[in-house]
Amino acid sequence: MTDDDKALQEVHGRVKWFDLVKGFGFIVSDDGGPDILLHANVLRNFGQSSVADGAGITVRVQQTQRGAQAVEVLAIEPPEGVGQPMLDDLSGNQMADPATQPLEPARVKWFDKGKGFGFANVFGRPEDVFIHVEVLRLSGFADLQPGEAIGLRIIEGKRGRMATQVTSWEAALREDKPE
């Protein structure tokens, strides 16, 4: 273990805010203390381009002259107190438990946060997959970028395929690997 590794501390907290345009945001540690800087590049190394405000996050933190800074994201959880979105008009009679659906690798076609939805394409399938902004937020994301690689759990809805969960590309790859 190097001196740099010893200086890193694992911290769990909540995302105070993250602004994709500015390229950074801040985390509030569960243990208190000063805010922790979260740079967009650190988030991208985890496989996400954004993170929802209020999402739980576990990071490795380094103390710098300018304060605490996340250097690695270890895990992201959806914001607390958020229930299942109301997607009845899209889902059909009974919505399957998202956890029972396979995680499928996909790429974002487009996503408009203002409209509250977007679409992705699963590799090897021609039809689009609908992604609702509430599903995105429940999954711990704030936004998606065109071309971004993601993992999706999908159900067949009244109007076609729709995502019930979004994960980072790396999470989809980890789940797909045989033990």
Q: What's the pLDDT band for 93 if we cut at 50, 70, 90?
A: very low
The domains located in the chain, with CATH, are 3-77 (2.40.50.140), 88-176 (2.40.50.140)
pLDDT at 14: 95
Q: What's the pLDDT band for 177 if we cut at 50, 70, 90?
A: low
Mean pLDDT score across all residues of the chain:
83
Give mean pLDDT, residues 41-48.
89
DSSP secondary structure string for all residues of 128-142:
EEEEEHHHHHHTT-S
pLDDT tens sequence across 8-33: 999 999 999 998 889 999 999 999 98
pLDDT at 174: 63
How far apart, in whole angstroms, are the C-alpha atoms of residue 77 and residue 135? Answer: 13
Give mean pLDDT, residues 26-49.
92
Judged against a pLDDT cut of 60, whether residue 88 lies above it is answered with no
pLDDT at 37: 96
pLDDT at 137: 85
Judged against a pLDDT cut of 60, whether residue 86 lies above it is answered with no
pLDDT at 59: 96
CA 38 distance to own-chain centroid: 14
Residue that wins the pLDDT comparison between 46 and 38: 38
Could you tell me if 123 and 114 are in contact, meaning their C-beta atoms sit under 8 angstroms apart? no
Judged against a pLDDT cut of 60, whether residue 92 lies above it is answered with no
How far apart, in whole angstroms, are the C-alpha atoms of residue 49 and residue 47? Answer: 7
Residue that wins the pLDDT comparison between 89 and 143: 143
How far apart, in whole angstroms, are the C-alpha atoms of residue 76 and residue 110? Answer: 23
Judged against a pLDDT cut of 50, whether residue 35 lies above it is answered with yes
How far apart, in whole angstroms, are the C-alpha atoms of residue 68 and residue 74? Answer: 16
Give mean pLDDT, residues 72-77.
91
Q: Where are the alpha helices (DSSP H) in the chain?
A: 3-7, 40-46, 88-91, 133-138, 169-176
